Amino acid sequence: MKGLYTESITDINHINMLKTIFAAIKPALAGQIYIERFHDNGEGVDRAYNVYKITADKQTYILKKSDDNEIGVYEKFLADKNLPVPKLEGWTCVNKTKWILIEYIAGVDLRMFNKDMAYGCADSLSRIFNMYWQKDGFEENKLDNRFERYWTRINKRAECLKNESKLSSAYRIFLDRQLVCPRTLCNGDFLQCNAIESHDDIILIDWAFAGIMPYSLDVARLIAHGSEKFFPFPFYMTDEYRRIFLKGVYDKLLYKPDYKQFIWDVILSCLNECIEFIENELKDEAIERDEAFTYYYKNAGVLADIILKGKEQI
């Protein structure tokens, strides 16, 4: 088995705990329910998530261990906004742990990316971007504190480049742009596995890392980790689909920089994606530098060369 899948839960204590949580949100449906847990072995290691598929009274939901940020994003930015996201059913706190219940979206994720998915992603992402776009005036029109946490994190990440002069110089250009780059509501982890193709729409899921941040982050994250060889990430992506997605997002944005600036912003954020995936190895030489490190280190070098030549060269 490869990718995302569910398994039934057999431990009675685990089942009873989840039933208690579900009943706190949907008391009218607290009778006979069927529970499955989500797993993912797409990267060769099986991961069991605190995310559950619950069927009750012929309705299916997703129950997910959550936190204040994700719940706040749903309540403030996503609920009842007619956006391509799962519907919020409610949330609760049990034994000091918060849980969120959302609509179950039937369909497939975007690991096997194709042309229709590229167009669909562009449409869905731009709809969200357009609703919360901020060109400037970030402090005066502040909607949350997500940028501050992001800013702290990427400056901490920059420390791993102290012995990488070329990457460090390019990353500084990325950092400088983040302070003035237009911001909007970003998913924060817009990988191909965090979107579902359902009927004629692409639905963005998993909003645990979301908030108001530079718009190019979500655009870059979707295109930076796929390949035609399924390595090092288990996502399929071609340059043609990247171009379709990028052009689609840009064309559908109601408020936008010029196209060259748009592409420049995405290039800068793609560098950040690469650095994120080699950060630990650069900090600690004791960590094995495997094929994945080589892949991202090489891509980071190519992007750094482009960035250091300047925007006028693209």
- Tokens at 278, concatenated: 């080699």
Query: pTM of the prediction?
Result: 0.94
Q: CATH: 3.40.50, 3.30.200, 3.30.950, 1.10.3470. Which one for 4-103?
A: 3.30.200
pLDDT tens across 35-85, in order? 999 998 866 678 899 999 999 988 999 999 999 999 999 999 999 999 999
- The answer regarding whether domain 108-313 maps to CATH 3.90.1200.10 reads yes
State the virtual CA torsion across 103, 104, 110, 114 in degrees, nearest 10: -90
Domain with CATH 3.90.1200.10 in the chain: 108-313
| Residue pointed to by tokens 């004629």 | 200
What is the pLDDT, as a whole number, of residue 41? Answer: 83
Q: With a cut of 50, which residues of the chain have pLDDT below it? A: 1
What is the pLDDT, as a whole number, of residue 43? Answer: 66
Domain with CATH 3.30.200 in the chain: 4-103
